[in-house]
């Protein structure tokens, strides 16, 4: 047998000798050591090795920790059967990477002191530390395997697994929260106009418990409105837990912004850190999704700001039955029902020939230079039915147009019309009115809305008087249908059609229909269409020589224009006093607030006033015209006149599209402190830049001035002394001459 490493065998022998001298041996019959071909030595046994049994005992086998912490473990054990000398302790577990043994295990006695052996039946500890990963979940971890190898006094080696190691448990009480992002301190301009350059800034914070690696921020969703001068994706690298990053993006608004409104900018914050998102079971990245809203303002064209007057028909006078060669007088009275003056009013009949009527005057146009609010104008026509005026319905249309007095360039013309229906009657005899072409005419003779102002989104009762204008024929099985374009006026409940049995010649009846106005309409006049479908009986010369009556049908549409007023929705919010600092009694500060037009119609000539315990620096703040869906922040300089709680009222006044003035108050309070004058001697003079000495700090300029002053004093003193000495010398010389 060849031995390559004599020193190693001597060390093994010496260890065996020491062990046999101090500890009871393993008591085996025969064993021997066999060297390897390399530098290490393998100890082999030829008979059963009487190795000790190590048992985990006691109740202190459960240890608590939080994710990211290191737990110190002293596992209580007892040696059984034989003594344990110079053990090699090996620990493995099923949770490597999440719960990892982080120190070399060592043997301790019952007092916690380091030992290289434990005697038979002696109690001690196996001591080691375990590192709990930051990504560990909050749960119980077990599955540890602990093996101990040692040699006996005969230098025999064996390795045993520690019994009851399953008792070892590590409970993670609290897992770490993965990277979580929040956004704060968003800065956007008050409004963005087409073609303007602006910046958007915000702060991203990692509010999680672990660092966020490979963090990136992406902005999107604004391409149709803005162009950014920066990359839409910014890589922030590692964003440590609790740290923040301030980001600023530069934009240019499109020259073709469609309309005022809110443009959302989507902000997405993500992290691709594998150690966070996939390295553990207890944490995960929470991608941040945020929206930054930018208010755009597109100035309306000049004509969009012009308030239009409303001119409505209030009375008509005309014959419903006309015979050939009959003199006909027609009168239609119109009224300006708004608060806006109409100008350049023109009314005319496009064609008298369509109605088979001839005007008695060559010029029939009606012109009015101005029609003030509440003024009326009557359109009067003297006509003659032509000789061949036939049976049947003859419609005569009257049209009129006008401008608003606010429309300086007369670019937005308002147009309206009315159609009058006259029933023709043959000149031979009255019985012809029952002939083939004679038709009963149904019309809305009068109507009532039950309210002075029809409001958007509200219900009103529309009552109409339906009249059969025919002198002899009845209308039967009458169907009345109420409708409007874009469903501006809708039926509250049930069908939009109503049935009437009949209306005799010259008879009239009332019909009430509850209607609801669409909620998003602007202030304006809207058409309400009334359709009459009915049957009637008349003779037909082609049947039984005109002696038999036959049933016929007819349909007539009549359109009424109803004035609707939108709901004004001015909104005041975020009233703040003091520019972020507590106001001081008698010291000028400011009141800031947001004003928005939440309605569907523009608000005109908007003003704001402050009253109460805070005195404003001026009479009022002129906000001007505010378009629907727009708004901004405003401020008014004020001086608090009391200490403690100061009460104020913000009054907003405005005109609607009809010129009606409204106002409403918003009360607010603020705390005001007393004025405390500075103590004498505590004033600190802060040097300011001297613009007369550019390039030099003021302290240097002062030193130069002092040096020049001292120099001038020195020069003056020298000149004076020289002059004095000279005079004294001359005086002395003169006295000497006198002595001679």
Q: Read out DSSP for 151-203?
A: E-TT--EEEEEPBTGGG-EEEE--PPP--BEEEEEEE--S-B-TT-EEEEEEE
- Rg (Cα) of the chain, in Å, rounded? 52
pLDDT of residue 515: 92
* Beta bridge pairs of residue 575: none
- Domain spanning 309-428, CATH architecture: Sandwich (2.60)
CA distances for 449 relative to 46, 331, 463, 515, angstroms: 117, 24, 6, 10
- Sorted by sequence, the CB contacts under 8 Å of residue 664 that are 6+ apart come out as 570, 651, 652
Which residue, among 13, 295, 52, has the nearest Cα to 150 in the 3D structure?
52
pLDDT at 333: 93
Q: Which residues of the chain have pLDDT under 50?
A: 1-47, 274-280, 282, 302-304, 426-436, 682-694, 739-740
Backbone angles phi, psi at 456, to 5 degrees: -60, 135
CATH of domain 437-566: 2.60.40.10
Q: How far apart are CA 634 and CA 404, in angstroms?
A: 31
**How far apart are the C-alpha atoms of 127 and 91, rounded to whole Å?**
11
458-470 CB burial, b ≥16 within 10 A, e <16: eebebebebbbbb
Query: Could you tell me how many residues make up the chain?
Result: 740
Tokens of 55: 């048992």
CA distances from 295 to 86, 199, 236, 257, 299 (A): 78, 13, 28, 12, 13
Answer whether 585's CB lies under 8 Å from 641's CB. Answer: yes
Burial tier of 487 (Cβ tally within 10 Å: 0-12, 13-18, 19+): exposed
Helix or strand (DSSP H, E) at 737: helix 698-739
Per-residue model confidence (pLDDT) at position 464: 92
Q: What is the pLDDT of residue 27?
A: 33
CA distance 528 to 329: 28
Q: Hey, CA dihedral for 341, 344, 348, 350, is it positive or negative?
A: negative
Sequence-separated contacts (24+) of 122-127 with Cβ below 8 Å? 122/78, 122/79, 122/83, 123/57, 123/76, 123/77, 123/78, 124/76, 124/77, 124/78, 124/79, 125/74, 125/75, 125/76, 125/77, 126/74, 126/75, 126/77, 126/89, 126/162, 127/72, 127/73, 127/74, 127/75
CATH annotation of 6-172: 2.60.40
Is the CB of residue 482 less than 8 Å from the CB of residue 515? yes
Question: What distance in Å separates the CA atoms of residue 432 and residue 323, rounded to the nearest whole number?
Answer: 11
pLDDT at 23: 37
- pLDDT for 735 equals 54
Are the beta carbons of 509 and 531 closer than 8 angstroms? no
How would CATH label the architecture of 181-299?
Answer: Sandwich (2.60)
Return phi, psi of residue 221, to 5°.
Answer: 90, 5
Q: What is the CATH number of domain 570-672?
A: 2.60.40.10
Give the H or E element holding residue 711.
helix 698-739
């Amino acid at each position: 047998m060849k031995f390559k490493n004599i020193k190693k065998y001597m060390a093994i022998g010496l260890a065996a000798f020491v062990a046999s001298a101090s500890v009871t041996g393993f008591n085996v019959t025969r064993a021997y050591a066999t060297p390897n071909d390399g530098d290490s030595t393998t100890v082999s046994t030829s008979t059963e090795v009487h190795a000790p049994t190590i048992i985990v005992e006691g109740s202190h086998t459960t240890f608590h920790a939080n994710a990211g912490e290191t737990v110190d473990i002293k596992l209580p054990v007892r040696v059984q059967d034989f003594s344990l000398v110079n053990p090699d302790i090996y620990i493995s577990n099923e949770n490597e990477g999440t719960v990892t043994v982080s120190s070399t295990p060592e043997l301790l006695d019952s007092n916690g002191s380091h030992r290289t052996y434990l005697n038979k039946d002696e109690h001690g500890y196996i001591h080691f530390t375990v590192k709990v990963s930051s990504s560990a979940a909050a749960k119980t971890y077990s599955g540890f395997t602990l093996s101990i190898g040692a040699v006996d006094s005969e230098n025999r080696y064996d390795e045993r697994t520690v019994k009851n190691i399953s008792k070892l448990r590590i409970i993670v009480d609290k897992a770490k929260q993965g990277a979580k992002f929040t956004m704060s301190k968003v800065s956007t301009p008050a409004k963005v106009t087409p073609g303007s350059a602006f910046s958007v800034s915000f702060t991203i914070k990692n509010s999680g418990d672990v660092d966020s690696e490979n963090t990136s921020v992406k902005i999107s969703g604004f391409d149709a409105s803005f162009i950014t001068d920066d990359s839409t994706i910014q890589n922030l690298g590692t964003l440590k837990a609790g740290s923040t990053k301030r980001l600023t993006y530069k934009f240019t608004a499109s020259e073709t912004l469609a309309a005022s409104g809110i443009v959302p900018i989507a902000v997405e914050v993500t992290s691709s850190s594998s150690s966070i998102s996939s390295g553990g079971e207890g944490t995960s990245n929470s991608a941040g999704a945020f929206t930054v809203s930018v208010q755009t303002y597109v100035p309306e064209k000049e004509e969009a700001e012009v308030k239009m007057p409303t001119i409505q028909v209030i009375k008509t006078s005309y014959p419903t039955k006309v015979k050939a060669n009959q003199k006909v007088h027609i009168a239609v009275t119109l009224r300006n029902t708004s608060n806006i003056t109409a100008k350049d009013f023109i009314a005319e009949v496009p064609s008298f020939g369509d109605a088979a009527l001839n005007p008695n005057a060559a010029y029939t146009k009606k012109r009015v230079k101005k029609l003030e609010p509440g003024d009326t104008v009557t359109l009067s026509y003297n006509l003659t039915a032509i000789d061949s005026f036939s049976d049947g319905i003859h419609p005569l249309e009257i049209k009129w147009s006008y401008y608003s007095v606010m429309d300086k360039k007369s670019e937005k013309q308002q147009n309206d019309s009315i159609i009058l229906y006259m029933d023709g009657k043959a000149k031979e005899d009255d019985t012809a009115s029952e002939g083939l072409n004679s038709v009963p005419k149904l019309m809305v003779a009068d109507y009532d809305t039950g309210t002075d102002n029809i409001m958007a989104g509200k219900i009103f009762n529309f009552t109409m008087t339906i009249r059969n204008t025919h002198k002899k024929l009845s209308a039967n099985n009458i169907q009345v249908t109420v409708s409007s374009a874009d469903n501006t006026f809708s039926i509250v409940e049930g069908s939009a059609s109503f049935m009437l049995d009949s209306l005799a010649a010259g008879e009239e009846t009332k019909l009430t229909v509850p209607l609801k106005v669409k909620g998003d309409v602007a202030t304006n006049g809207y058409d309400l269409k009334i359709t009459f479908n009915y049957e009637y009986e008349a003779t037909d010369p082609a049947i039984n020589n005109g002696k038999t009556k036959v049933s016929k049908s007819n349909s007539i549409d009549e359109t009424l224009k109803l004035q609707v007023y939108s709901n004004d929705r001015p909104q005041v919010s975020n009233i703040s006093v003091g520019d972020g600092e507590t106001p001081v009694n008698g010291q000028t500060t400011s009141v800031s607030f947001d004003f928005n037009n939440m309605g569907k119609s523009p608000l005109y000539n908007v003003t704001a006033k402050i009253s109460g315990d805070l005195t404003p620096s001026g009479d009022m703040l002129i906000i001007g015209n505010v378009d629907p869906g727009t708004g901004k922040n405003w401020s008014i300089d004020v001086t608090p006149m009391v200490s403690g709680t100061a009460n104020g009222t913000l009054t907003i006044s405005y005109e609607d599209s009809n010129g009606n003035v409204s106002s409403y108050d918003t009360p607010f309070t603020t705390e005001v402190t007393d004025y405390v004058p500075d103590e004498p001697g505590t004033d600190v003079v802060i040097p300011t830049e001297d613009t007369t000495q550019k390039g030099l700090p003021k302290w240097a300029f002062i030193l130069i001035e002092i040096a020049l002053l001292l120099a001038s004093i020195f020069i003056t003193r020298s000149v004076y002394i020289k002059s004095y000495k000279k005079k004294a010398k001359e005086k002395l010389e003169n006295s000497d001459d006198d002595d001679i």
